[in-house]
Chains A and B, each alone.
Chain A
């Protein structure tokens, strides 16, 4: 009897073991995804023992990892962005609160820290999207507005070290392990992985088979070497020089395009002290690096000093004296027999093209984020929610970018539906959430079909 009971016990254990072994194992999170997740947590939460700011204080996921005055208006008064307003140690020479609030420009001591009251630049906050396509150049990594944003080896990996020193200190003494702590090597690896994971991972291949008449014409002007001439420096609407002009390894390039010479710049109009920004190096060359324009339409204001509010204005800049008299403008004029000279309809057409490719990128990014919310491996619900929320921001942007210029009304309707479904999914879990997200992705695809031949 006792033997039979023992046999039953062994049988039960064996059965359970076999049953467990037969169950499909939950796939483990791939190492590269783990690094990105770690980097994401650091990017959004880590203050590096400083004044309370994180990377995401300025690079907001809700605002395309950049920062605009409109978004700043929604922040509470104790947001760490405004630390200079409530931390007495940072009240002087750390930021200009008025310029942050009105123009979303932050203070950078690009030329040194010896004369804090007079030697500084006021710069907008560039987005961190599509960095994988825009950082590489023949001269090494190009980071920040003028290509020299990172200390150490100048890489995107090192960028966080300089950012912590410039923007995170508790006091202007900026003593490591007193006013902040420097990121560790592991943290830099993770932050780099996360930043490189954001946005496009490769450039477009122009021309795209666009369906919108005006945007399609804008694309022609953009590419045309005797008309818009845009593609020479923004090859395939990215951030790199045309390899047929600048050589196969040129990558991202710096130019002095004369933005600093624009009259009536908003920051100057405020009457606040805004020293001229001399760009790359110290003393500077007047050059700034080329940003990708796929991401432009929803990441204004434009240029390093946020001097132009609209995408139409940014295109029109290349028509004006500031550009055409600049070293870059003169290079173009000398080579082509004249500066850039577009009429109003042509400016609007190029801007429409930029709006459409931006909306298409938002759709792609939104769809990818929704897909990532349901991976084959297990992710926690909070992270899933954050991915769906981020997808919502992308879809919302695509609506604004198109509707803002009366483009693709039918697609806008579908995008609004997609946004609504994604938002609704946040109220559910499990299969219902999954279904709503799948429905949102269908709407996104339908919107895309209305904008471009697939």
Chain B
């Protein structure tokens, strides 16, 4: 097996390592209520109230018990409406559903970009 194979494989591995966050399953995340996501709630997430949204720059200000944090959404960010409190099925959402005054949970990646946003809704 040539050195090229070693080099290619090592390059591939480096790419995998550098490609960002852990490979979590984001689709079932939709049905997990705010604050209940295993292993990330309260550690890698911010739970609080939206106090500002900028739809053009894809950023949002969230106030939690510690203070105000500005978070930045990216193309792969997923949005979910959390309606569990009202015994209704959770839904996919968009950034347009992030409104000032809403309770949200924001999951941040290791590079501080947003993985997903859960917005409490009726």
Contacts and interface: CB of A to CB of B under 8 A. Distances in A.
Interface string A174-206: 111110001001001000000000000000000
A226 interface: yes
Given A110-B25, A176-B31, 14 more contacts: A109-B28, A110-B27, A151-B38, A153-B40, A174-B89, A174-B90, A175-B84, A175-B89, A177-B84, A247-B10, A247-B13, A253-B13, A281-B23, A335-B1
Interface of A: 109-114, 137-142, 144, 147-155, 157-158, 161-162, 165-166, 173-178, 182, 185, 188, 225-226, 229, 232, 241, 244-247, 250, 253-254, 280-282, 331-332, 334-337
Instruction: Name the residue among B5, B6, B83 with the largest chain A CB count within 10 angstroms.
Output: B5
B39 A174 contact: no
Contacts of A331: 5, 8-9, 12
Contacts of B44: 153
Contact of A182 (B19, B36, B40): B36
Given A114-B92, A282-B27, A176 B33 contact: yes
A140 B33 CA distance: 24
B29 interface: yes
A109 B1 CA distance: 39
Contacts of A247: 10, 13-14
B32 A176 contact: yes
Contacts of B21: 140
Given A154-B25, A281-B23, A335-B1, A246 B10 contact: yes
Contacts of A182: 32, 36
Contact of B2 (A144, A246, A280, A336): A336
B25 A148 contact: yes
Closest 5 CB pairs of A and B: A335-B5, A153-B39, A140-B22, A154-B24, A152-B38
Nearest to B22: A140
Contacts of B32: 151-152, 161, 165, 176, 182
A370 to B, nearest CB: 35
Contacts of B2: 335-337
B8 A139 contact: no
B27 A334 contact: no
B38 A161 contact: yes
A113 B13 contact: no
Nearest to B37: A152
B103 interface: no
Nearest to B17: A138
Nearest to A337: B2
